[in-house]
Amino acid sequence: MKKYLVTPGPTPVPDSVLLAGAQPIIHHRTVEFSKLFRDVTAELQSVFQTKNDLFVFSASGTGGMESCVANLLSIGDRVLVVNTGAFGRRWENILKVYGLKPEVIEYPWGKAARIEEIREKLEENPEIKAVFTQLTETSTGVVNDIESMAKITAQSKAILVVDAVSGLGGQEIKTDEWGVDIVVAGSQKGLMLSPGLAFVSISKKAWNLIEESKLPKFYWNFKTYKKFFNEKGETPYTPAVNLLFSLHEALGKILEEGIKNVFTRHSLLARAARAGVTSLGLELFAEVPCDVVTSVKVPEGIDGISLIKRMRDEYGVSIAGGQREFKGKIFRMAHMGYMDKFDVIIELSALEMMFNKLGYKVELGKGVAAVEKEFLKK
Amino acid sequence: MKKYLVTPGPTPVPDSVLLAGAQPIIHHRTVEFSKLFRDVTAELQSVFQTKNDLFVFSASGTGGMESCVANLLSIGDRVLVVNTGAFGRRWENILKVYGLKPEVIEYPWGKAARIEEIREKLEENPEIKAVFTQLTETSTGVVNDIESMAKITAQSKAILVVDAVSGLGGQEIKTDEWGVDIVVAGSQKGLMLSPGLAFVSISKKAWNLIEESKLPKFYWNFKTYKKFFNEKGETPYTPAVNLLFSLHEALGKILEEGIKNVFTRHSLLARAARAGVTSLGLELFAEVPCDVVTSVKVPEGIDGISLIKRMRDEYGVSIAGGQREFKGKIFRMAHMGYMDKFDVIIELSALEMMFNKLGYKVELGKGVAAVEKEFLKK
């Protein structure tokens, strides 16, 4: 049975990207490698829309998140987490592990952060050094208003640290124009690559904090990465070279399509996915839905866990379920990275057939038609 | 110009291993992934010769080293580093970053650790909790006597933590039989894979320390990896899935050849390489040479940096130079992982020709002949 991977990470990888990774390995202390690595870094800066320093770690996205905590802070620092779901909680957990006591503004799952609340918090507490949040919160399908948050932090001492692991390359973040101090991303989402690389961009304002930080770090130490990159175009420790070959190919594809066109495509797919599911009488879960994943409430009387399992087993179509307390209660369909119109069609078609089997009445073809209509709009 | 990569890491990757990594990605929260991951873990345990817990990190080998420090220790713990080169110093640096004050027995580069000295140190200081060292010290080409060290730590409270990043899969380490508490390895050396994965095996004795440890860790937290592996055959954070496909293929090749045969091959290649260079009048650098890399003193009057650069530029043959104070003074030729007889032949032939160009008198073909003789021995 042919497999269709439409989960919000990992996402499908184009053949040319997979094959680029199958090239013979090169040594990471050579002119050849430095050229590749400088090129890839410049391409990443284009996608991040930044001229800031940008480092590449051989690690999962979580490693990139941890690197921010370890490099920016010292015991006793006041920090704020704007928590809109499972990955917001991850910021809290990492901070606690390092002995910090984060203050948290927590929103119910499905809701987006309220900008006014953050503004008040920072105005009342000017000693807060950093605000940690998510661009798109994959667990709920919500997008946060990073542009407005950055305006607030720009007027305070605090820096803004944004986990864009699930968003980058699909949901626009204008790092420099908006003034986002730190952006963390991973390879396996919008960047159309297999997992194993994390990226972190760092503003001048953030470097001031890094200079003062006393938390322990070795593998994650930004200063070591900066030194090796600036002096030699290299990484301090052996990097995942073949993933960098793949990354170069993937970024080339993104830049060839054009960043604006990439975002337009994601936005169209998201609108179409939402039109499709709502046409079937389903309800969206996210208050402010993002462009990379659509989260939907499982209708009354349907076993949400079985829905996802059977779609995978019987149709080869992998979507994601809810996490934690929303397991079985929502499902999440991705439209990011190496996905296009017919991936959304597949999602809707598989849903229609599975709902049919599960006894939830839908008119076959209705969801697909709604998607097609969006695509046909001028 | 065809390229020949014979450096001590990264090492060449077989086509079938590269191509395995180009397979379509699978989701890391599926039965399919769990099966792959459990299989790979069992295969790694075979190569590590252990039944201990064994975790896979998406990271460089250095990340694996850091994970040991962060998981085993607390501020104030007494630890010993047995330092025989650049990677021994890395243990020191990581420990210091975490606020520990390691005691160090340091040997001049090229020398192996003296077992008696370690025994005395541990007998006189029974409160030492852990001993950190290297199996093969890539920077010098030395192999340490881990079997004897493990006998000493077995009789003390201390655990033995061995960085086998450059040795595993080429230089035998009998983890369980010798009683080595922690073994760290990486993917890009003897295991014939591209970089990006680190492996750590952990004994019951080591788990006692882990239970007491108070240093901060999130991405590296062994307990989280244990929980996810035992409960689901998964990793806590998105793993480098395509590298795991490759790893499965590479380990399959190693187990098919047979671990004993793999070590016999490495040992033969090492003997042959040593015979080759000494036949040219060159002097070995390592007091106790290992089986994965041969380090050789650059002869008087030859520019060692130019030797390596020109071998790469003019013949496409990449060997490694010396590190730190030995830059330009030694060169290092690997024979590990996906290498066999004719890789050693290539190394010797390229050396002969380059020495000829550089005006160091060698009889062309003499080094190669010495290598061939070793291969022809019964």
Find the helix or strand (DSSP H, E) in which A206 lies: helix A204-212
Rama region for A144: left / alpha / beta (φ>0; ψ in -120 to 50; rest) = beta
User: Cβ A21–B242 below 8 Å, yes or no?
Assistant: yes
Give the CA radius of gyration of chain A: 21
**DSSP helix/strand/coil, A132:** strand
User: Cβ B66–A219 below 8 Å, yes or no?
Assistant: yes
User: Cβ B240–A25 below 8 Å, yes or no?
Assistant: no
pLDDT in tens, B33-89: 999 999 999 999 999 999 999 999 999 999 999 999 999 999 999 999 999 999 999
User: Cβ B25–A9 below 8 Å, yes or no?
Assistant: no
Higher pLDDT, A342 or A102: A102
Mean pLDDT of B252-278: 97
Taking contacts as CB-CB distances below 8 angstroms, the residues of chain A near B93 are 218
Close Cβ partners of A320 (under 8 Å, ≥ 6 residues apart): A7, A8, A293, A308, A331, A332, A333, A334
The CA-atom distances, in angstroms, between A173 and each of A38, A258, A291 are 22, 15, 12
State both tokens at B268. Answer: 């033969």
CATH 3.90.1150.10 residue ranges of chain A are 4-8+258-376
* β-sheet bridge partners, residue B160: B131
Residue A305 pLDDT: 96
Q: How close is the nearest chain B Cα to the Cα of A17, in Å?
A: 8
Residue A101 pLDDT: 97
Q: How close is the nearest chain A Cα to the Cα of B70, in Å?
A: 10
Taking contacts as CB-CB distances below 8 angstroms, the residues of chain B near A194 are 21, 25, 240-243
Cβ–Cβ under 8 Å, residues A199 and A48: yes
Residue A378 pLDDT: 76
pLDDT in tens, A310-362: 999 999 999 999 999 999 999 999 999 999 999 999 999 999 999 999 999 99
- CA gap B137, B292 in Å, rounded: 10
User: Cβ A216–B216 below 8 Å, yes or no?
Assistant: yes
Over 90: is that where the pLDDT of B272 sits? Answer: yes
Find the helix or strand (DSSP H, E) in which A16 lies: helix A15-20
Taking contacts as CB-CB distances below 8 angstroms, the residues of chain A near B98 are 216, 218
Taking contacts as CB-CB distances below 8 angstroms, the residues of chain A near B22 are 15, 18-19, 21-22
User: Cβ A217–B58 below 8 Å, yes or no?
Assistant: no
**DSSP helix/strand/coil, A166:** coil
Q: Which residue has the tokens 């060839």?
A: A256
In A296-332, which positions are buried (b, 16+ CB within 10 angstroms) versus exposed (e)? bbbbeebebeebbebbbeebebbbbbbbeebebebbb
Residue A2: band (very low, low, confident or very high) from pLDDT cuts 50, 70, 90: confident
Residue A299 pLDDT: 95
Residue A300 pLDDT: 93
State both tokens at A125. Answer: 């507490």
Residue B309 pLDDT: 96
Q: From the list A18, A215, A219, which residue is nearest B59 (CB)?
A: A219
- Chain B interface, mutation test: which of A90, A94, A194, A222, most B Cβ atoms within 10 Å? A194
DSSP secondary structure of A317-329: EE-EE--GGGTTT
Does B216 reach chain A within 8 Å, measured CB to CB?
yes
End-to-end CA distance of chain B: 36
Q: Which of residues 21-40 of A touch B (CB under 8 A)?
A: 21-28, 30
pLDDT in tens, A153-170: 999 999 999 999 999 999
Cβ–Cβ under 8 Å, residues A345 and A371: yes
Over 80: is that where the pLDDT of B378 sits? Answer: no
Does B68 reach chain A within 8 Å, measured CB to CB?
no
Q: For a pLDDT cut of 90, what percent of chain A falls above it?
A: 97
Please name the residue of chain A whose CA is at the shortest distance from the CA of residue B218: A94
Q: Which of residues 128-187 of B touch A (CB under 8 A)?
A: 186
Residue B9 pLDDT: 86
Looking at domain B15-257, does it have CATH number 3.40.640.10? yes
State both tokens at A49. Answer: 């829309």
Taking contacts as CB-CB distances below 8 angstroms, the residues of chain B near A237 are 60-63
Q: Which of A271, A264, A260, A284 is nearest to A374 (CA)?
A: A271
Residue B43 pLDDT: 98
Residue B2 pLDDT: 83
Mean pLDDT of A64-89: 98
CATH 3.40.640.10 residue ranges of chain A are 15-257
pLDDT in tens, A205-258: 999 999 999 999 999 999 999 999 999 999 999 999 999 999 999 999 999 999
End-to-end CA distance of chain A: 36
Mean pLDDT of B150-155: 98
Q: From the list A18, A66, A241, which residue is nearest B10 (CB)?
A: A241
* β-sheet bridge partners, residue B143: B136
Amino acid at position B218, single letter: F
pLDDT in tens, B157-189: 999 999 999 999 999 999 999 999 999 999 999
Determine if the peptide bond prior to A108 is cis (ω within 30°).
Answer: no
Cβ–Cβ under 8 Å, residues B13 and B246: yes
**DSSP helix/strand/coil, A237:** coil
Average pLDDT in chain A? 96
Determine if the peptide bond prior to B10 is cis (ω within 30°).
Answer: yes
Does B14 reach chain A within 8 Å, measured CB to CB?
no
Alpha helix positions (H), B180-221 = 204-212
In degrees and rounded to multiples of 5, residue A214 shows phi and psi of: -120, 0
Q: How many residues does chain B have?
A: 378
Over 90: is that where the pLDDT of A1 sits? Answer: no
CATH no. for B4-8+258-376: 3.90.1150.10
Q: From the list A58, A60, A97, which residue is nearest B237 (CB)?
A: A60
- CA gap A52, A158 in Å, rounded: 18
* β-sheet bridge partners, residue B182: B161, B202
pLDDT in tens, B100-119: 999 999 999 999 999 999 99
- Chain B interface, mutation test: which of A65, A242, A245, most B Cβ atoms within 10 Å? A242
* β-sheet bridge partners, residue A185: A199
Mean pLDDT of B279-291: 97
Close Cβ partners of B245 (under 8 Å, ≥ 6 residues apart): B20, B21, B23, B36
